[in-house]
Amino acid sequence: MKTRVISSASQAFTPDALRRMPRWMLVLLLGTLLSCASTSDPPVSQCPQPRFTGKAPAAIYNVTSPLVPGAGDLAAGRELYEGGADPSCHLCHGIEGDGQGPMAEGFEPPPRNFACAKTVNGIPDGQLFWIIRNGSPGTAMPGFKQLRNEQVWQLVMYLRQLAQ
């Protein structure tokens, strides 16, 4: 049964089948193929990516995360990144962290590309924490004052995971 379904699908676009197809259907098929070919993919975020974010005060810049690597905090960070934080990080930074979220287009500078290890690995924990908490003036990055410190550190942990 299964093999019959597969073989009938592969027969759908044989030259013979195309000849028997009504003209309108051919036009539709061609139109779909052409529109697929002409819509260009969104531009890929740069890696390494230039940063336009100000530096955190020295006292926080060098702080390392108090969280020990663990599945619970990582899952909590992911949940915040993908939906819990308001506005949700993935809208700008992308669900894969590539900086290509649905709202990313039109922001100058563009959102940070967390998937780019070359850029993100060079940014200390304290800097990531400070910007999530306070935002980055002059960019679209908002501050998340409503999150508890622990939640911000969970986000930092998840950002590090995206960069691997």
- Give the burial class of 84: count Cβ atoms within 10 A of its Cβ; 0-12 exposed, 13-18 middle, 19 or more buried: middle
- Please tell me the count of residues contacting ligand HEC according to CB under 6 A: 26
List 139, 153, 154, 160, residue binding ligand HEC (CB under 6 A): 139
Range 10-49, binding ligand HEC (CB under 6 A) = none
Q: Does 123 bind ligand HEC (CB under 6 A)?
A: yes
* 81, 89 contact by CB (below 8 A): yes
Q: Does 53 bind ligand HEC (CB under 6 A)?
A: yes
Q: Does 116 bind ligand HEC (CB under 6 A)?
A: no
Cα angle, residue 145 at apex, residues 64 and 115 outer, rounded to 5°: 55
The least CB distance from residue 117 to ligand HEC, in Å, is: 13
Q: Which residue has the tokens 């691997």?
A: 164
List 92, 116, 157, 162, residue binding ligand HEC (CB under 6 A): 92
| Rounded Cα distance, 50 and 44, in Å | 14
Q: Does 91 bind ligand HEC (CB under 6 A)?
A: yes
List 43, 70, 87, 122, residue binding ligand HEC (CB under 6 A): 87
Q: How many CB atoms lie within 10 A of CB 105?
A: 11
Which one-letter DSSP state was computed for residue 14?
Answer: S
**Nearest residue to 97 via CA among 107, 85, 82:** 82
| Rounded Cα distance, 9 and 140, in Å | 47
Q: Please identify, among the stretches 4-12, 18-26, 65-73, 88-96, the one whose residues bind ligand HEC according to the rule CB under 6 A.
A: 88-96
Report the interface residues with ligand HEC, using CB under 6 A: 51-53, 85, 87, 89, 91-93, 103, 107, 109, 111-112, 123, 127-128, 131-132, 136, 139-142, 144, 155
